[in-house]
Structure 1
């Protein structure tokens, strides 16, 4: 495809079939096209990939995309090749002969985009090849992996700083959906970028309904109740919803997958204990088959582009807010209503703390992970709008009203007036100089006689022992909820010291009340809860029949090419066919997601179906 020097908007329309850029996309693409750098923090499904794919097509040369997972690379390349773009992967999945072919294409300038693993991109041989080739740009996908403060730090990503030094004049773009402010600072530093290069387009996913429930004795039954009430359709012909269930251990993955299969669901396990062949088989089925539920550890998910995942459920809490945000973000990438459901119990925090303590000897890193875990449990226990808590965590404080699409917004919560308790905590943090973490603040408030309390003379300050009536666990919960409300921040670069936010001043002055959550209450009955629809597909009648017929054609075409169905067209495009009923190639070209290449490849097949329904 020869689109070099074309206008980015023309490429957007003619290649990708989209009418207009999403917010900030145009600005970022223009910046990279002009040879400048950018770090882009954009929510899942927000269009991060286009921010480097279009400049790679417009600029002269090949775009290098550094990506952490083989499955992520292959999915992107499959989709790009469907658009007529010359894209390839260069990783360990290739045979020696396949690798030589790609290397030759790279050397001769026959690729628009080349996806490479971070380990391979830093090899002397590949660096030498880059020096002999016109490189259009360097894109670093999942850029949060470069920071030890991130939730998925990968040491091999540290070398990418050297890549920037080796090619200082090649525009570089880092993209990720999950990076809080401290992580953003580290990424900028290691990629030799400035604050001017940072683009934070927002973290909100308004189509996702967030819900957290207390975990009972039989969490699998709770999960089944959630799936049955929200996603099951008695008409088996129309059971097309896909979902992901996350569990912490391999044992729970296996038992949960079997449990769901026994209930009549198509459910598959995915964890590191399975063979590579079996994992690949299960992932391939999940991408290609409708209505399949993947039960998995965190080994599954990064780079999964399946757009029609209708729910993500957590039977165990993840380690961090970033992990939670990223994993729930795999639901509803197509923008349609979707659900994020999680079951938790307070004892989970003990188990997660042990995992963190045993994972590394790096004390600074452990402090960071403990803070992130505390923030997640604060989210679980909060009485505020859950979406606001998520956005506050990532530095967004401008959600003007409650979202109206989370359990806290949609049902009443058993709360208690925690104003005095909040004042005690906030005062204690202030009187100890905002230099200490939650554990020490709890000891001071409860009047504990510890060496650290005596060393700093905190047994002589006015807040010593003012909260002896509550347990250590209760004060820890209060502190987590204050963090979740944004009144207290945790300095993860300062060994977890608690810092007061300006928003706490009205509380200290007695001008603002604070409510805390009592023991978590079960989710109210379905009648009092807003729920996500299964999908936006027509429920019945002639429109549903046409939609199903279009799906059959899409599945047939996908099987012939050995790609997932959504790579041919997403449901959004099929729904546009149902709504607009195109009968000519010109009308077909106007549909969302139809570019010039897909018009040529697929118009006849889909138009035949539409015409058949028009004539009947």
Structure 2
């Protein structure tokens, strides 16, 4: 706020719910000049604009879906000096009329919300964000505040470069969402799909976990999971980019109103959603990066109340991500061919429109731009306007950029692979914070994660056609009869007590406890015969466990 009041540029990196909107709204109301807020979050802008006007502060909004008459009134209020805050979607800056209206005012602050969208190599690139740097320059470079919740240190530097921020004040508050718990539930081996379906149905069936968002990796799985939840008696709607805009809008509105309390969606659903009371966010499939995962998981608990983020992890998902990386990988030859094709297609002004809808095309264009062969600007209809630059192509630079693009995607893969690994016993919350460069201690308000706390909030899971009614099946690599939750509960309670504040797995894993239930050992030697129990366990916990079993 002080940077904005002092007329300085700033980069504000705060978690969802951390107070970013206050950082620009309060300075906006402190003076008479215009504050411009750019955001792709139409629902969020509409909400903020309505709250300000209800409180007597003159604010306007320009975005698709607002209506031509409302947009005209907004432009009039900008020109006549009435409006103090203008919310605008990034594509509105393609309008010369809108930019001309802004030039009639002194701009106190130009706010770029969701600023990570400016990075073509980030997880949520928006072509219209490429226009903002030239718009800022056209307006005389007023003070700029770039805000984001999901920027790694690398992306933060790219934001500074892309928006040409001048010695920005950097505010990087903690990334932690203390009211969220983070669980990774592994599903592999024989019967894993059935267990995964049963787990999702059981979890979402609990009213305490609704409203809920379920993210899927493909349109097909979105429709299948929606049908499964509807068949289980839930009011669920599907949402993906293959649906018409009208259908997507009606389904999102149904979820926002509460007519549907579960939305099953691809990542097409998200940035425009500001539903405060989402109690759980489920990932049916692994997302492509930890940034994408944390942003999507962060849609839970925006009201500050406890909420869950649950990742249903399958090793088979990793193959899908590897395939995506391989399909998007670009070679030096492909980039060279792209540059040659663009030169051949360019008009007398050296410009041509290009489609960046496919991942490979977008990365190839980004490589060519970073190699100094082209310049990119937003085009029409979500396309990119490419200006082919004169001179020789720096092939060595292209080689470096191709390698950097591939390395970046593999780094993203390794981060989500490590996070989702069942063998990884590092606190999930700690992993997320470390990824974003936040070394603050974790302070969860409730449960932390599956590493520290047992996943005892799930009701008993019934697998159709399974081996035990009302009991959670043992993983496929375990032999012997299934063990029910009721049988396991006393051992879990004993384990929590013995852990004395440390992660439960440091005493014994769930698999070890299930085998204890099956074998019912009565001597230290019989305990030692169980996988996961060694001499150290016998010394620390053997007598106590045998006494519990005798009871």
Given candidates 259, 275, 282, the residue that maps to 2:251 is 282
C-alpha separation in 2, matches of 1:522 and 1:70:
47
Shift of 1:339: 0.5
* 1:337-372 C-alpha deviation (Å, 9 max, x unpaired): 111001122232221122233321343334312211
Residue 449 of structure 2 corresponds to which residue in structure 1?
406
Structure 1 consecutive aligned stretches of length 4 or more whose deviation exceeds 4 Å: 216-221, 400-404, 520-525
Contact 1:224 1:260 in 2 (8 A): no
What 5-or-longer segments of structure 2 have no aligned partner? Answer: 329-358, 368-401, 456-504, 515-551
Shift of 1:376: 0.9
C-alpha separation in 1, matches of 2:229 and 2:5:
49
Shift of 1:155: 2.6
- How many residue pairs are counted as aligned between the two chains? 387
1:333 to 2:302 alignment: yes
* 1:471-525 C-alpha deviation (Å, 9 max, x unpaired): xxxxxxxxxxxxxxxxxxxxxxxxxxxxxxxxxxxxxxxxxxxxx99xx988999
Shift of 1:226: 4.7
Matches within 5 A, 1:245-260: 245-260=214-229
Residue 597 of structure 1 corresponds to which residue in structure 2?
none
Shift of 1:168: 4.2
Residue 419 of structure 2 corresponds to which residue in structure 1?
379
Given candidates 15, 19, 27, the residue that maps to 1:55 is 27
Contact 1:244 1:293 in 2 (8 A): yes
Secondary structure of the residue that 1:138 maps to in structure 2? strand
1:222 to 2:196 alignment: yes
Residue 106 of structure 1 corresponds to which residue in structure 2?
78
C-alpha separation in 2, matches of 1:377 and 1:284:
34
Shift of 1:197: 1.6
| Greater mean deviation of Cα atoms: 78-87 or 133-142 | 78-87
Residue 431 of structure 2 corresponds to which residue in structure 1?
389
Contact 2:178 2:444 in 1 (8 A): no
C-alpha separation in 1, matches of 2:184 and 2:236:
23
Q: CA RMSD in A?
A: 2.9
1:200 to 2:172 alignment: yes
Contact 1:151 1:320 in 2 (8 A): yes
CA separation of 1:258 and 1:79: change in aligned 2, threshold 3 A? farther
Contact 2:187 2:195 in 1 (8 A): no
Secondary structure of the residue that 1:277 maps to in structure 2? helix
1:365 to 2:405 alignment: yes
What 5-or-longer segments of structure 1 have no aligned partner? Answer: 1-28, 234-238, 413-515, 526-616
C-alpha separation in 2, matches of 1:86 and 1:261:
44
C-alpha separation in 2, matches of 1:252 and 1:70:
27
TM-score by length of 2: 0.65
* 1:524-559 C-alpha deviation (Å, 9 max, x unpaired): 99xxxxxxxxxxxxxxxxxxxxxxxxxxxxxxxxxx
Given candidates 109, 130, 136, the residue that maps to 2:102 is 130
C-alpha separation in 2, matches of 1:218 and 1:354:
22
Secondary structure of the residue that 2:151 maps to in structure 1? coil
CA separation of 1:90 and 1:312: change in aligned 2, threshold 3 A? same
| Greater mean deviation of Cα atoms: 320-329 or 375-384 | 375-384
CA separation of 1:523 and 1:337: change in aligned 2, threshold 3 A? farther
Contact 1:107 1:133 in 2 (8 A): yes
Matches within 5 A, 1:448-487: none
Residue 165 of structure 1 corresponds to which residue in structure 2?
137
Contact 1:148 1:365 in 2 (8 A): no
C-alpha separation in 2, matches of 1:328 and 1:401:
18
Secondary structure of the residue that 1:410 maps to in structure 2? coil
Residue 31 of structure 1 corresponds to which residue in structure 2?
3
1:295 to 2:264 alignment: yes
C-alpha separation in 1, matches of 2:452 and 2:34:
48
Residue 583 of structure 1 corresponds to which residue in structure 2?
none
Residue 536 of structure 1 corresponds to which residue in structure 2?
none
Given candidates 58, 66, 72, the residue that maps to 2:38 is 66
Secondary structure of the residue that 1:255 maps to in structure 2? helix
* 1:177-196 C-alpha deviation (Å, 9 max, x unpaired): 10000001111122222565
Contact 1:213 1:522 in 2 (8 A): no
C-alpha separation in 1, matches of 2:444 and 2:236:
35
Given candidates 232, 239, 243, the residue that maps to 2:206 is 232
CA separation of 1:53 and 1:224: change in aligned 2, threshold 3 A? farther
Residue 286 of structure 2 corresponds to which residue in structure 1?
317
Contact 1:136 1:170 in 2 (8 A): yes
Shift of 1:103: 1.2
Given candidates 51, 55, 61, the residue that maps to 1:83 is 55
Matches within 5 A, 1:439-518: none
